[in-house]
């Protein structure tokens, strides 16, 4: 199975994440895309909502797509969430014959500073989704020798950020049409980001 892996804090997951995953799924012919909320993101401060709330929102957001799959592997682990550990776990469990790590173009330029970055690029393909405003003709280059491959993912992107969504909620404004309807309802019912 060709598996895409889209990780992140997902605080909250929004339509931009879903569109990026769909672009990668179509462009790369992926059988499934796993959405993996980080338990303890090593490169950011503590998330605004709990790991369980973020996983629940991912599950709600992906429920309507038969090829999207919420995966709790990072929130089930203790300690910081390192992508290389997640990739190794998926490959060891035989969940995928080919693994494609889906990242935004803003994240791609930071990946050389990730834990065991060279090893990560040798374990999986990297699919780079351009962020809004990025040069769509800029082809990403593998930063390490022996990398399995780095590909640009074409398709429309949505200029939405989780920080903007949290700010909208704090200001008492609606986040409908920025997040899936079920996620908007969950945020409201749980009183998240208020």
What is the per-residue pLDDT for 95? 72
What SS3 state is found at 129?
strand
pLDDT at 137: 61
Please check the confidence at residue 120 and state whether its pLDDT lies above 90.
Answer: yes
Q: What is the mean pLDDT of residues 116-142?
A: 85
Maximum Cα–Cα distance across the chain: 50
What's the pLDDT tens digit per position in 9-41?
Answer: 999 999 999 999 999 999 999 999 999 999 988
Q: What residues contact 73, with CB distance under 8 A and at least 6 apart?
A: 36, 86, 89, 90
Please give the mean pLDDT across all residues of the chain: 93
Rounded Cα gap, residues 174 and 193, in angstroms: 12
Which tens digit of pLDDT belongs to each residue from 140-190?
888 888 888 999 999 998 999 999 999 999 999 999 999 999 999 999 999
CATH superfamily entry for domain 2-158: HUPs (3.40.50.620)
The predicted structure's pLDDT at residue 116:
96
Q: Is the per-residue pLDDT at 136 higher than 70? A: no
Give dist(CA 124, CA 30) in Å, integer. Answer: 13
pLDDT at 42: 84
Report, as an integer, the average pLDDT of 125-133. Answer: 88
């Amino acid at each position: 199975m060709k598996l895409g892996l889209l990780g992140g804090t997902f605080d909250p997951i929004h339509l931009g994440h879903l569109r990026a995953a769909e672009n990668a799924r179509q462009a790369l012919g992926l059988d499934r895309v796993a959405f993996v909320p980080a338990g303890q993101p090593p490169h950011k401060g503590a998330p605004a909502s709990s790991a369980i709330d973020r996983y629940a929102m991912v599950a709600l957001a992906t429920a309507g797509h038969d090829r999207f799959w919420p995966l709790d592997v990072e929130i089930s682990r203790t300690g910081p969430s390192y992508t290389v550990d997640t990739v190794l776990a998926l490959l060891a469990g035989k969940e995928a014959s080919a693994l494609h790590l889906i990242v935004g173009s803003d994240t791609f330029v930071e990946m050389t500073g990730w834990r065991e970055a060279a090893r990560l690029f040798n374990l999986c393909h990297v699919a780079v989704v351009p962020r809004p405003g990025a040069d769509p003709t800029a082809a990403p280059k593998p930063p390490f020798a022996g990398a399995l491959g780095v590909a640009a993912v074409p398709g429309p992107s949505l200029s939405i950020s989780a920080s903007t969504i949290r700010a909208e909620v704090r200001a008492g404004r609606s986040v409908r049409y920025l997040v899936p309807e079920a996620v908007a309802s969950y945020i409201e019912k749980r009183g998240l980001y208020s």
